[in-house]
């Protein structure tokens, strides 16, 4: 029994500083998060409008058109970016594979909700690496 108590006391003495340090760290983490929240607190999108069925239908149509346009733009950009990369590495690469990678990247980039040309280029680079196509050094083509 005494031995258990001794072991427990020893373990407690080892654990306490760790827990105390953790307490400090937690407050540091929370402080950092709060500072970030304060830093990034942005104004509200004005003006507020109450929805109704009719206006929503109209919005859906216009958002749908805008969304399709954005997707098409993102796909086009992605194909351009990936195409450039394919050309840069053409001397050693299988160009067809690069084009396939570019196509895949463009398709998935267009499908992604927050797709942009940088993401698509990144995906294209990754796809090109997977396919064994040499890719240009980072930053090239941007």
> Does residue 30 bind other proteins (CB under 8 A)?
yes
Of residues 54 through 93, those in contact with other proteins by CB under 8 A are 54, 56
Q: Which is nearer to other proteins, 40 or 91 (CB)?
A: 40
Out of 1, 2, 3, 38, the residue judged to bind other proteins by CB under 8 A: 38
At a CB cut-off of 8 Å and minimum separation 6, what does 110 contact?
71, 72, 74, 75, 78
At a CB cut-off of 8 Å and minimum separation 6, what does 92 contact?
134
Yes or no: say if 93 and 124 are a contact pair by the CB < 8 Å rule.
Answer: no
Q: Which residues bind other proteins (CB under 8 A)?
A: 8, 11-12, 15, 18-19, 22, 25-26, 28-30, 32-54, 56, 114
């Amino acid at each position: 029994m005494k031995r258990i108590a001794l072991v427990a006391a020893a373990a407690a003495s080892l654990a306490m500083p760790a827990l105390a340090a953790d307490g400090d760290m937690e407050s540091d983490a929370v402080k950092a998060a709060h500072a970030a929240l304060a830093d990034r607190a942005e104004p509200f999108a004005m003006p507020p409008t109450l929805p109704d069925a009719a206006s929503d239908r109209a919005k859906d149509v216009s958002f749908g058109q805008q969304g399709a346009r954005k997707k098409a733009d993102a796909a086009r950009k992605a194909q351009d970016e990936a195409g450039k990369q394919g050309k840069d590495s053409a001397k050693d690469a299988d160009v067809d594979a690069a084009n396939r990678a570019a196509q895949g990247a463009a398709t998935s980039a267009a499908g992604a909700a927050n797709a942009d040309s940088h993401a698509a280029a990144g995906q294209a680079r990754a796809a090109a690496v997977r396919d064994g196509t040499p890719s240009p050094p980072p930053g090239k083509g941007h």
